[in-house]
Structure 1
């Protein structure tokens, strides 16, 4: 025999939970007395209506008494005030086998004398956006802070049959908030869908551009003539600008990558020769900035950026897999008769070897000297 306290905000299902619990007692053969349930069909449910809930002691032994909005029966009072006559016997309800199911929005609305008598406190709260799904937090004693931690939390689905016996809240103004994790999942899905749409649109635009360029390059009529039906012909371009763009290399250091060379067999491919000079003074003492220029094998100037030009000047052009290897020409070998004629006709002269006669080569004339010896006396 126990006192059960069921709390919760309006519209969260506390009355439905209490009625379902009372029907479980009825299946055990207990008599059910109720008061305060709106528009309850007592005859259909097989319950009895308790006209004056303060006279609960007039009920037969072993009865189950369910009181909705019971703060009207056991209102809160000053702890120093006298305990009402119908409240004080609640401490001895076990003697006659009574079970009480008290329904209120919060335990503080009820008489403080009852707080030490509850054997189960169940707080009902609907946290899901699904109306039929509700959280039940249960304690084995009165709990003043229903928002605090609880070791016994269960999900409870409101049984539909209980609404056949009474009228629930006609107007629920409590707004159900969507859980944060649901919001985050929704935002994540929107971001992913947006990214997928952007990537699809971006790649579709690039593919369309490539197809358009290919169509412009390989089909249509233009300034260079028309292709014959059934046979390949020269490329045609719609405008002179398109024709000029076809000669612009995709990579400045590799002029053969221009679209004009795509799929064709050109007579030759440009070869670059670049020369780079650092900043400094020239032979005339004038300061010159760093510069780099490139020429083709035809002696024409080829424009490219300075960094690319210096790269080619320092490291040469990248490897060209489309260039045909050229074998060096064989050495020239003259005919045999021509070789003999050249040897016979070679001019020559013999030089004899004789002793050179004196005076035939410029020589220095003999140098003549004179020596004078003075008289030797004591007077020098």
Structure 2
């Protein structure tokens, strides 16, 4: 099932989980198809959209053509085939007390299938929404950020339970859509995430390391008992021959044991830089630099300018440095030469590597 194809699609996640990034991706697809787009709650959206009108203007009473008694029912007034995106939807569809009258803008979801209008609702948990809405949801997407294990996408054909995500019929790894970056203001989209291992995983790793050390020591003890002559030979070799005067000989220096004790072994797998497991001493021989950060572009908006490296991350330039780079990109001596006749001397903005610089 494609995302956003049902009359009511619900997206849930905790703050920073990627709800808005996914919604903006779906909004881009709707705009590309020429669908009217209404949205509420996404700040500084850079897609063409129509602000949602007051809630009192969302519906009108019409006679239901299928009702033999010709009763009037509330219908949405949005144009046909429109997509309505509502962030923090619980502010509009709050839970009602038992026996309370169903508002027209809630009851209209019962007839939304006749209008071709689709709704994309976002909230942190489905229990925040009116139960009437939950019962009519035709697609529920839940996003989880599980730290070092990445992000996961779960989907139900009805309103599911995010706490029982394992029951979702559709489960897959998911990444934030980069095409959504820069199209709206987000307080969490570009924040560097800091993760710690779950306590259960830490205990598992510690027990595993202790087990490896214990097995190694048991093996050495058993080997000494099975082959005592080899152990005796090593001891005699360490003593060395006596001198000609019969006096005690000076034993040669003994090399440090190559078998580390438990504490040293654990220390070798402890990162030197917190949060960077690859910095542990045990991996020193495996660490080789494969690339260096290069500024490849940037973008400016009302809040300032930010430049990015080739991996799409913050290049570390302050606003003034970024503006200077966008106005006059420096020569890059580390970039491979273009083939003959294919030199690219277009401005950065034309190559798609940056954005317009206000005030340039």
Matches within 5 A, 1:120-159: 120-129=139-148, 133-144=150-161, 146-147=163-164, 149-159=167-177
> For each residue in 1:69-102, what CA deviation from the matched residue of structure 2 results, as whole angstroms up to 9, or x when unmatched?
0111111111311111222212211222111000
Unaligned runs of 5+ in 2: 1-5, 59-75, 225-230, 252-360
Distance change in 2, residues 1:116/1:168 (3 Å): same
Distance (whole Å) between structure 2 residues aligned to residue 207 and residue 66 of structure 1:
80
- Counterpart position of 1:167: 185
Matches within 5 A, 1:37-56: 37=42, 39-42=43-46, 45-50=47-52, 52=54, 55-56=57-58
Distance (whole Å) between structure 1 residues aligned to residue 9 and residue 127 of structure 2:
15
SS class of match (2:169) = coil
- Counterpart position of 1:368: none
Distance change in 2, residues 1:193/1:103 (3 Å): same
Structure 1 residue 216 corresponds to structure 2 residue 241: yes
Distance (whole Å) between structure 2 residues aligned to residue 135 and residue 221 of structure 1:
76
Distance (whole Å) between structure 2 residues aligned to residue 28 and residue 210 of structure 1:
85
Unaligned runs of 5+ in 1: 224-236, 243-380
Number of residues of Structure 1 aligned to a counterpart in Structure 2: 218
Matches within 5 A, 1:317-332: none
- Counterpart position of 1:279: none
- Counterpart position of 1:99: 118
Distance (whole Å) between structure 2 residues aligned to residue 53 and residue 193 of structure 1:
65
How far residue 158 of structure 1 moved from its aligned partner, in angstroms, is 1.2
> For each residue in 1:128-164, what CA deviation from the matched residue of structure 2 results, as whole angstroms up to 9, or x when unmatched?
425xx32222111122464262222122111122131
How far residue 168 of structure 1 moved from its aligned partner, in angstroms, is 2.9
How far residue 181 of structure 1 moved from its aligned partner, in angstroms, is 7.7
- Counterpart position of 2:248: 238
- Counterpart position of 1:84: 103
Distance change in 2, residues 1:191/1:157 (3 Å): same
Distance (whole Å) between structure 2 residues aligned to residue 88 and residue 40 of structure 1:
31
Matches within 5 A, 1:23-38: 23-37=28-42
8 Å CA contact 1:128–1:179 kept in 2: the answer is no
User: Over alpha carbons, which structure has the higher Rg?
Assistant: 1
Matches within 5 A, 1:1-380: 1-37=6-42, 39-42=43-46, 45-50=47-52, 52=54, 55-56=57-58, 57-129=76-148, 133-144=150-161, 146-147=163-164, 149-170=167-188, 178=197, 182-183=201-202, 186-187=205-206, 190-191=209-210, 194=213, 209-213=235-239, 215-217=240-242, 220-223=243-246, 237-238=247-248
Q: TM-score, normalised by structure 2?
A: 0.51
Aligned alpha-carbon RMSD (Å):
3.7
8 Å CA contact 1:35–1:51 kept in 2: the answer is no
Q: TM-score, normalised by structure 1?
A: 0.49
Distance change in 2, residues 1:185/1:117 (3 Å): same
8 Å CA contact 1:71–1:104 kept in 2: the answer is yes
Distance change in 2, residues 1:41/1:142 (3 Å): closer
Distance change in 2, residues 1:176/1:54 (3 Å): farther
